[in-house]
């Protein structure tokens, strides 16, 4: 059997873990909180004790959020001009506020999914035996 499949079976299924991460919950148990701040990942799950310090989401969630929000805002530019007419300041204000609001709303769930994906794929020290190595 493929070693990657063995790791995935040991750590859990991908879809439920991603769903729990998107809901800002621990990817293993779905009970404990994943974050201790807006985007600060907790050191451990409060419910099952999963060590979350090996996560390395870094700038990945921001890249994904920028990719999605930029496309949504970019594709809504022409309909906005059709709807509001030739008022570029108003359109820029509306789309600017929408992009900020969308970005702030999307960042925690996307980062939760990144952490969950790293856990379910045993990336960055989430693999088996890590608990035995770390105190
Ligand atoms: Zn947990």
> In angstroms, rounded to a whole number, what is the distance separating the alpha carbons of residues 47 and 26?
8
Cα–Cα–Cα angle for 33, 113, 22, nearest 5°?
Answer: 60
In the chain, what percentage of residues exceed pLDDT 90?
Answer: 79
Higher pLDDT among residues 11 and 52, named by residue: 52
pLDDT at residue 31, as a whole number: 95
How many C-beta neighbours within 10 Å does residue 54 have? Answer: 17
Model confidence at 132, pLDDT cuts 50, 70, 90, reads: very low
CA–centroid distance, residue 73 to ligand 1 (Å): 36
Is 107 in contact with 1 (CB distance < 8 Å)?
A: no
CA of residue 8 to ligand 1 center, whole Å: 17
Identify the pLDDT of residue 130: 54
Give me ligand 1 centre to Cα 14, in Å. 15
Query: Could you give the residue ranges of the DSSP H alpha helices within 34-87?
Result: 60-84
């Amino acid at each position: 059997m493929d070693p990657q499949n063995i790791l995935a079976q040991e750590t859990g299924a991908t879809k439920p873990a991603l769903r729990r991460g998107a809901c800002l919950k621990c990817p293993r148990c779905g009970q404990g909180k994943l974050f201790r701040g807006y985007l600060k990942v907790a050191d451990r799950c409060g419910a099952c004790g999963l060590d979350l310090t090996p996560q390395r989401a870094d700038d990945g969630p921001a890249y994904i959020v920028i990719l999605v929000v930029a496309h949504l805002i970019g594709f809504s530019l022409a309909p906005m001009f059709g709807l509001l007419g030739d008022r570029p300041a108003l359109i820029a204000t509306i789309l600017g506020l929408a992009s900020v609001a969308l970005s702030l709303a999307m960042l925690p769930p996307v980062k939760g999914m990144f952490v969950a994906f790293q856990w379910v794929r045993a990336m960055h020290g989430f693999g088996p035996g890590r608990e035995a190595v770390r105190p």
